[in-house]
Every structure is written in structure tokens, then in C-alpha cells.
């Protein structure tokens, strides 16, 4: 991983850590996928999943359902110790829905 990639990943992790607790108090209606809040939550993903040629697999071409299922699997696996397990556990189901829809929309071109 390059220094730039590592810094982006660390920034994303910091954002995700802050978002996890703050997001728990939000009403579901405030997290529509087209909002700046959904984009802010999804920013944590871009540090590692930045697109073609990234260190970790791109999310391009993945549907919202696929992304949601993967995040849900990481969140539910209590024994998992990867970054993805830890990040996923910090999100509510509403936040995961918003992130998944936002990322799938971005992959489609907007």
C-alpha cells in the first residue's frame, strides 16, 4: 500500500469510527442514499476500495444488495478481526443500507 493509500485508509477509518456512534441517534429518513450524510459514511470505503488498480478489490459494478450482504456478513461474524469486521460493526442497519445504495449508485455513474 502506498503512503497516500495508507493515509486515505486511516482517514476513512477515523470517519467511520466517528460515524458509528453519531449515526445511532439519527432517524432513518435522514440517511437517504442521495444525501451528503450517506456520502460521508461511504467515504470510509474509498481509502481501500478506490477503484481499478486499488490495493483491495474495487466495489465498481457491485449492486447495493451485494454490498449490503457483504457488510452484513462482516457485521454478524463476531469472531472476525479484520478491519472490515470492525468497521461494519460500527454501522447501524440503516447506515449500511445508505452506504450500500450510495456506493452502488456511484458505481453506476451517479
Sign of CA dihedral 87, 54, 38, 9: positive
Residue 9 makes CB contacts below 8 A (sequence gap 6+) with 1, 47, 48
Range of the domain at 42: 3-107
Distance CA 76, CA 69 (A): 10
Q: What angle do CA 70, 71, 74 make, to 5 degrees?
A: 90
pTM of the predicted structure, to 2 decimals: 0.66
pLDDT digits (tens, 9 = 90+) for 27-77: 444 566 556 888 889 888 888 887 677 678 888 888 999 999 999 999 998
The pLDDT value recorded for residue 67 is: 94
- pLDDT band of residue 26 (cuts 50, 70, 90) is very low
Query: What secondary structure letter does DSSP report for 81?
Result: -
> In total, how many domains does the chain have?
1
User: Do 12 and 45 contact (CB within 8 A), yes or no?
Assistant: yes
HSE, side-chain direction, 13 A CA sphere, residue 11: 11
The pLDDT value recorded for residue 110 is: 56
Amino acid at each position: 500500500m502506498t503512503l497516500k493509500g495508507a493515509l486515505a485508509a486511516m482517514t476513512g477509518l477515523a470517519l467511520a469510527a466517528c460515524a458509528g456512534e453519531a449515526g445511532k441517534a439519527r432517524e432513518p429518513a435522514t440517511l437517504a442514499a442521495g444525501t451528503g450524510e450517506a456520502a460521508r459514511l461511504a467515504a470510509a470505503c474509498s481509502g481501500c476500495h478506490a477503484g481499478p488498480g486499488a490495493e483491495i478489490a474495487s466495489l465498481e459494478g457491485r449492486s447495493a444488495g451485494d454490498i449490503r450482504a457483504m457488510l452484513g456478513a462482516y457485521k454478524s461474524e463476531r469472531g472476525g478481526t479484520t478491519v472490515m469486521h470492525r468497521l461494519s460493526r460500527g454501522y447501524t442497519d440503516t447506515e449500511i443500507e445508505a452506504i450500500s445504495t450510495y456506493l452502488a449508485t456511484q458505481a453506476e455513474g451517479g
